[in-house]
Amino acid sequence: MGYIGQHGVMALQRYKYSGVDHSIVSKYILQPFWTRFCFILRLLMVSASSCFQITLTGFMFLVTSALLGYIYSPQLDSAPPRWVNFAHGLLLFLYQTFDAVDGKQARRTNSSSPLGELFDHGCDALACAFEAMAFGSTAICGRSTFWFWVISAVPFYFATWESYFTNTLILPAVNGPTEGLMLIYLTHFLTAIVGGDWWGQHIGKSLPFFSWLPVISEIPTFKAALFLMIVFAVIPTVTFNIQNVYGVVHARKGSMLLALAMIYPFVVLLAGVLIWDYLSPIDLMGKYPHLVILGTGLAFGFLVGRLILSHLCDEPKGLKTNMCMSLLYLPFAIANLLTAKLNNGVPMVDEFWVLLGFCVYTATLYLHFATSVIHEITTALGIYCFRSPLNTPLFNIQDNKKRSLRCDCAFGSTGGRIYIITMEQSIIGQPQKANPHRMNKNKVQKNFLDFHFVSVASSPRPLQEYTLLFKQLEKVIKMYNVQFVINISEDPLLMNVTTFLQQPEVLLHTTRSLEGQGPVYYQKKIDLPHGRTLDVTAINTKAFQGPAQKNQFSSLTKILKGSQSDWHIAIGYHSLVNCSVDGEKSDELASEQLYHTLLNTGVNAYISGQTCLTYVPKEGSGEISRGDVENEGLSFTFVNPNLIPMENVDGFVLHRISAVEFVSYLVNIKGDVRTVALQPKGRDVM
């Protein structure tokens, strides 16, 4: 059967990966190492090696590690030789390294694609099972090894579920792929020194500083580690995931129950396996831990792969019925156990063969899914899986040419709604030929999208720079049939920007010249095509200071909630984020109250006339302070639960609104496109 429909193909062709890693260890320690290792890898392997080959090689390290554990500890209840523990740690370290550099190789060879994300995360899902087996042999966990798989699978599934709704994979400051794996392979190395029996001791003996706790000190060390990981890692991570999803669903006025329904297959999988083990006349997990984890891990891999594919293909939110295919075997296994009630405690089919059949079934299901999806995606995108595009550049950029935006897109329609295939960069006035490995020539056509407008702000600059700015504005206005310009600048030359551009038909909305005393001093409803509307609200952020700010926020909330338009942009003087010590934007909000007011009233984007504030307000204060700002300019931020402010650009922002999404492109005075940001709407909103 096919897994990807026509709408899915179009969604794949416009898909762009988004991820944020806040890990300090990754940023300052591992990333520099991975960059150097990627260079070494090019020398050891073929320079044009596919990123998929690197991913698969890293995955095979964990398969090898699990096999070593099986050979020396078949039931995970006896200590293997210490060199095996060291090998477990080394192989896990290599897996983490290869998993990190495959993306760097993809970007180097211009072979990044949705298939790469699916392949990479699919291998990571299976890796949970194989590493659980390896750790079980190191810590001599026996039947409890299954629970170590559970505590790795649960946060992995919830993180995948979260990214499905937020469209961004968010890794917090302490996360599993970085600090979690580092802790595990350091544990393997430690065990190679102290011996595996260390894990079977009471934790009061293994770690004497726990000996003063009367109850905990009597728990075996590996069970104490399991408990600590659940309390301090799994529960906070899952809570963080649920909060982020709730914030997105609430902002889009969707159904949280519909979102939670996507967790149902995973819960049923865990419950089914636990019921099977509970009813089994033999100690299923204790006697065959490798088979139980392997079969369950393959079923889990199918669930995760199907969830990721739904995200890539922009499928409607909710329960995916074919995800339940991984659960079909469990009722037969449980029914076989019930026959033991009629046969003197002996099931109709021996438990070993039923368990082996479970592994065969889930392996067949997963392999069918993997091969089918790889074939469908490579066919749809015109790419290869295990072959690199041989360093062919995506576009032939000519020297001494200004770069700007070109839209290569195809229109498709499902249910009266428009979908866009892809957006790329090229040279103004001279589109370049795209890499055939990245685009399907039969489906990609050049066309322009529904509605465009520009927002601009600038500090005083030399006349030559004004000339460049106006030239770029004029080109973009003509090229994309821009309907209006939002000017939030106090610069006199930009107050009448359309006069300088000789574009009298383009409407100009100048918000700064209409400053008032209340929380809002300018509000305009703008008609868009197809009966849609856009609200532009200029907020007097200078008024949110002093004892009256509480009343101002209350008035602002009422005004913003009154918007009935499809899209809503807020404009203010101050940025939503603070500057860090080095003057760059940080993750700290300049005004928590303003941000949450915008978020809770459904504002899509916020534009400010300065990049960020140079100092942080006092803790607990909602007051906005201007600070000493050296460079004023336009700062554009999508308002969502995962606030990711866009870079300031010395130029302007081109916005495109369609029936399903809001896209913004930051363009500087040289015509360089610095950032592309997307906020989906329509099918992505429940």
| DSSP category for residue 624 | -
Structure tokens at 253: 């006025």
> Which helix H or strand E contains 484, and what residues bound it?
strand 484-487
Active site residue 375: no
For residues 248 and 641, the answer to whether their CB atoms sit within 8 Å is yes
Q: How far apart are CA 562 and CA 571, in angstroms?
A: 17
> Which helix H or strand E contains 508, and what residues bound it?
strand 507-510
Q: How far apart are CA 377 and CA 372, in angstroms?
A: 9
For residues 449 and 405, the answer to whether their CB atoms sit within 8 Å is no
Structure tokens at 212: 């003063």
For residues 483 and 529, the answer to whether their CB atoms sit within 8 Å is no
Q: How many CB atoms lie within 10 A of CB 204?
A: 19
Cβ-count burial of 657 within 10 angstroms (0-12 exposed, 13-18 middle, 19+ buried)?
buried
Structure tokens at 477: 């206005």
SS3 category, 234:
helix
- Sole residue written with tokens 């015109």: 382
Contacts of 104 (CB under 8 A, 6+ apart): 34, 35, 38
Distance of CA 560 to the CA centre of its chain: 29
SS3 category, 26:
helix
Amino acid present at 453: F
Instruction: Kindly provide the b/e burial profile for residues 359-384, where b requires at least 16 CB atoms within 10 angstroms of the residue's own CB.
Output: bebbbebbeebbeebbebbbebbbbe
Nearest in space to 386 (alpha carbons), one of 59, 100, 56: 56
Instruction: Kindly provide the b/e burial profile for residues 512-533, where b requires at least 16 CB atoms within 10 angstroms of the residue's own CB.
Output: beeeeeebbbbbeebebeeebe
Q: How far apart are CA 337 and CA 137, in angstroms?
A: 29
| C-alpha distances out from residue 489 to 359, 492, 594, 653, 669, Å | 64, 8, 21, 13, 16
Catalytic hit among 7, 22, 88, 121: 121
Supply φ then ψ for residue 527, to 5 degrees. -75, 135
Nearest in space to 525 (alpha carbons), one of 494, 484, 468: 484
Helices (H), 313-433: 329-338, 351-381
Contacts of 369 (CB under 8 A, 6+ apart): 3, 302, 305, 306
What is the end-to-end Cα distance of the chain in Å, rounded? 27
- Residue numbers annotated as active site: 121
